Structures are given as structure tokens and as C-alpha cells.
Amino acid sequence: MLAGCEGALSTVDPAGPAARTIARIWWVMLAGGVAIFVLVMALVALAFVRRSRPVDEARHERLWVIKLGIAFPAVVLLALLAYGLIAGESLLPRQGPDVVSVSAEARRSQWTFGYADAAGRRTEHVLHIPAGRPVDVAITSTDVIHSFWVPRLAGKIDAIPGHLNVLRIEADAPGTYAGRSAEFSGVGYDQFAFTVVAHDPAAWERFTGGGTP
């Protein structure tokens, strides 16, 4: 089962800080869900065990209905909500001296990427980024709604015609990362893919300078 968590499109096999935060949120939410599930199953089992025993009904009601049936799930869910809000806030793109800006334009069966550090340079189906630096991707679409998603680097965000959505991604190390347009946009949308290539500093310098990375 754990082997199934690995792979090019796995959200729980992160390769960057944003993806790690998302994976951590997933694990925390799973732990909270398991805790509530275990409690409910325990209550169901105890209901059968104690059914034949005399009990103080008022005390019994306070313990099982109010404390365990209401208070415990409410505390767990509120804690999960607070954690999710705090962790989600950390995923928002922030200004900084090391942030790289790129653009992503979607149309049916094609992604086109532009680079602020290499004016005029554009690539299709392959997004080039520097490893170890935050990258803000300004995402839009020319036809219908698509979705930009690189599971091992960041979360998912829609590409909407006439609108720019900005997503912060970052790769820990040089490498190649798989991306998908995870939105139904017509026949063949499930094959609508792209690749993110993260370069070391020397290769990124060659790319932005017009050379071959």
C-alpha cells in the first residue's frame, strides 16, 4: 500500500516545500478522520456490550452523547479547520527577492510557457524553472477552463479565460516533474499533460541567457 504512494503524480511523495505542506495537511486530515472513525466504532461496540447492564441513564447520556458524541468530534474538526487555515495561508504566493516569474497559457491540447527572466522566450509543453527557488506561475487560458497541476511540486489551480491565477511552485532539486490539466475540457483531456524541468543554477543561467540548458 505504501508503494502506491510513490510516483510521478503522487501528492504524498512531495519534491518541494508547497507540496510537502499539502501532503502534511493530507496526513493530518487522515489522522483526524481515523480518530473520529475509531471513536464511532468503539461507541457502536460498547452500545452492544452495555445494553444488558443497568446504568444511570442521565450519567450515561452525558458521557456518550454530549462528551463523546458531540464534544470530541467538534474539538477534532475545529482543530483540523484551524490547522488547514494556517497551513493554507503559508501556500499563498509572497513577494521576495528570489521569486522567479513565469507564465502559463492553456489551450486545448497545448500549454505555452513564457519567462520574465528570458524576455521573448517561450516553450510548449515543457516549463523550465530553477531548482531551489520559488516560482510564481501566472496561469490563464485562451478557450475553456483548464487546470494546472504538478502534484509533486504544488497544489492545483484553474486556468480561466480572461483571468490570471498565480500559483507558487518550487522544486527542491533539479529533475523532471510530471504535470496534468486536471479539468474536463473536452475529448482527450486526460492526456493533456506537460512537464516541469527544474535546473541547477548553471543550467538555468544558460536557459535564461538563450542557450541550451
Query: Last residue of a domain, which of 63, 89, 115?
Result: 89
- How much is the CA Rg of the chain, to the nearest whole Å? 23
Same domain, 120 and 47: no
Residue 147 belongs to a domain = yes
Confidence of residue 138 (pLDDT cuts 50, 70, 90): very high
Query: Last residue of a domain, which of 34, 65, 89?
Result: 89
Confidence of residue 56 (pLDDT cuts 50, 70, 90): low
Same domain, 85 and 112: no
Q: What is residue 124's predicted lDDT score, i.e. its pLDDT?
A: 94
SS (H, E, C) the chain: CHHHHCCCCCCCCCCCHHHHHHHHHHHHHHHHHHHHHHHHHHHHHHHHHHCCCCCCHHHHHHHHHHHHHHHHHHHHHHHHHHHHHHHHHCCCCCCCCCCEEEEEEEECCEEEEEECCCCCCEEECEEEEECCCCEEEEEEECCCCEEEECCCCCCEEEECECCCEEEEECCCCCEEEEEEECCCCCCCHHHCEEEEEEECHHHHHHHHCCCCC
Same domain, 194 and 128: yes
Same domain, 126 and 202: yes
Residue 15 belongs to a domain = yes
Same domain, 106 and 194: yes
Question: Whole-structure pTM over 0.95, yes or no?
Answer: no
Q: What is residue 66's predicted lDDT score, i.e. its pLDDT?
A: 66
Comparing 44-53, 91-100, 155-164, which segment has the lowest mean pLDDT?
A: 44-53
Same domain, 118 and 75: no
Residue 186 belongs to a domain = yes
Contact yes or no for 155/140 (Cβ under 8 A): no
Same domain, 188 and 129: yes
The mean per-residue pLDDT over the stretch 77-103 comes to 84
Same domain, 85 and 106: no
Q: What is the mean pLDDT of the chain?
A: 83
Same domain, 128 and 49: no
Could you give the number of structural domains in the chain?
2
The mean per-residue pLDDT over the stretch 186-202 comes to 84
pLDDT 10s digits, 108-134: 888 999 998 887 889 999 999 999 999
Query: Does the structure show a pLDDT above 70 at 50?
Result: no
Q: What is residue 176's predicted lDDT score, i.e. its pLDDT?
A: 95
Domain span at 16:
2-89
Confidence of residue 57 (pLDDT cuts 50, 70, 90): low
